[in-house]
Amino acid sequence: MRAILALPLFLLMSGVGCVSMLLPAALALYMGNFHDARSFFYSGLLGLIVIAFIGIAMSGNKHNQSGLSQLRALLAGFAILPVFLAVPFYEAVQTTSFINAYFEMVSSLTTTGATLFDPERLSAPEHLWRAQVGWMGGLLIWVSAAAILAPLALGGFEVTSLAVPGHSRLSGSARADRTNPARRLMRVIVALVPVYTGLTIALSLMLLVAGDGPLVALCHAMSTMATSGISPVGGLAETNSGVTGEAIIFCFLFFSLSRLTFSKDTAGAARSGLGTDPEFRLGVGIVIGVPVLLFLRHWVASFEVGDEQNVAAGLGALWGALFTTLSFLSTTGFESIDWTYAQSWSGLGTPGLILMGLALIGGGVATTAGGVKLMRVFALYLNGAREIERLIHPSSLGRSPEGMRRIRREGAFIAWVFFMLMAMTIAGVTTFLGLLGVEFSQSVLLAVATLSNTGPLISSAAEAPLELISQSNGVKATLVGAMVLGRLELLAIVVMLTPDAWRD
């Protein structure tokens, strides 16, 4: 086991991907779908053989000895690993091109969840494979955030102070883990994998009890924990669990608002808790504030159509807005069964711009959610509040509220730099898609959806239906690059291009 863990990180990720192919192969064999069973089993077996030979050839060298090498392996995992993951999917579907299969795997592994295929076109093992790849991508983000990004002050940790994994005051073996990237990675895997797996199993069992079938319950549980929004039936509206299943998923979506909901590896987490966590409080405020504003807007409009006495309509609209707001803020993208009702009960339609804004804000640092991240938004809010205070009272002294203790002195400046980089990246992707022939509004929507890793936004926020599968290969390649860039973030790419990274 020690020899296996000493192999390059990318090789280990590839091995895990090959082993995971056995699960859809077993499901296909149980269902009598022998073609899919052979596609997944042979791909996994052949991949393990190739990885074993490569591992034996590289076993004499030292690997995973620096954070930058692990960061490069993480980039290769999101960009190159989907090539291997797409092989069984391509062989199983049969009626698609390899670039479509590669797009689907990149979308799943980055937890974007943008799909090219209608649910009826794919078999149960193929749906399971999509959800499973998305689930593994979410786990990869959990682990890499604490073991790779935090020590390098990336992924949102560049805004925080010492209260991050790998930066706290440690002693003994913990300090040794901090100086040994390979040991730190192993320690984080041992700590987080049981939590992530246990939460997924618990959610799937709850959905199963609520009325969903085994495949739907498992896929939706994986998609919720990974915030990928992948569904084998096309969304929550087609499930048997109804509002009960939505309420269960709603509770588990809060794990994407703050790392403190599932881990205590940040300094001071034990004494502060969720009550004083700025990310969780800001996320809860948005989840409550946006539906209330939408509800009041609809309620005022309902007086014009004479529907103000329909209490059931109002409560249904409120729940639909509440669930959908949290879903898109966490970049999951599940729509509530009552979301359509929330848009139409008052005679007014809710613009998709609201959903785009929620997805762009995103969830918490070191969670599976994408977007700008709540911590950066909170840092910009505190800086803006302080600047307004200085305009009113130029001689005032700045205070240090509870939430400010987790933000570095230059945190607001770094958050602003990242926000500008994000805005320029959106503009660049939009421009490039426009050059490839995509209409402007659709280009903006595709850029925001892929860079925030919120694939369901493409269908939820579009005014007219947008079929990704009909787009050119150039458009699909651009979206693939945007998904990888949004998942790893531009700051990490910049770090890998520095001279220190090349000398490493």
Instruction: Supply the DSSP string of 307-337, one letter for each residue.
Output: -TT-HHHHHHHHHHHHHHHHHHHTT--PPPT
Q: Where are the beta strands (DSSP E) in 121-226?
A: none
The helix-helix angle for 278-305 and 374-392 (nearest 10°) equals 80
Residue 176 has pLDDT above 50, yes or no: no
**How far apart, in Å, are the Cα atoms of 356 and each of 451, 452, 474, 476?**
11, 9, 24, 20
Confidence at 304, pLDDT banded by 50, 70, 90: low
pTM of the entire structure? 0.91
Q: What is the pLDDT of residue 322?
A: 92
pLDDT at 5 over 60: yes
Residue 86 neighbours by CB under 8 Å, 6+ apart: 98, 101, 102, 104, 105
Mean pLDDT taken over the chain: 86
Q: What share of the chain is helix, strand, coil (3-state, %, to 5)?
A: 70, 0, 30
Q: What is the pLDDT of residue 399?
A: 63
Question: Comparing 40-44, 55-59, 86-90, 400-404, which segment has the lowest mean pLDDT?
Answer: 400-404
Backbone dihedral region for residue 94 (phi beyond 0: left; psi -120 to 50: alpha; all else: beta): left
**What mean pLDDT do residues 320-339 have?**
92
Report the pLDDT value the prediction gives residue 173, as an integer from 0 to 100: 39
Please give the pLDDT value at position 400: 57
Nearest to 92 by CA among 79, 80, 105, 77: 105
- 436-484, pLDDT tens digit by residue? 999 999 999 999 999 999 999 998 888 777 889 999 999 999 999 999 9
Q: Choose among 278, 291, 299: nearest CA to 412.
A: 278
| Residue 208 confidence (pLDDT) | 96
Tokens matching residue 272: 């502060």
For residue 198, is pLDDT > 60?
yes
The residue with greater pLDDT, 288 or 309, is: 288
What is the percent of the chain where pLDDT is above 90? 56
**Which whole-number Å values give the CA distances from 216 to 119, 236, 265, 377, in the listed order?**
12, 10, 33, 35
Q: What is the pLDDT of residues 345-365, one digit of tens each?
A: 655 566 788 899 999 999 998
Specify whether the CB–CB gap between 448 and 426 falls below 8 A: yes
Task: Give pLDDT, residue 167.
Answer: 46
**Residue 205 scores a pLDDT above 60:** yes
pLDDT above 70 covers a percentage of the chain that reads 86
pLDDT of res. 270 = 47
Give Cα separations from 79 to 82, 84, 107, 113 (angstroms): 6, 11, 10, 16
3-state secondary structure of 472: coil
Q: What 3-state DSSP class applies to 178?
A: helix
CA angle 70, 65, 54 (to 5 degrees): 75
pLDDT at 246: 95
Task: Select the more confidently predicted residue: 434 or 495.
Answer: 434
- Please give the Cα distance from 375 to 54 (Å, whole number): 41
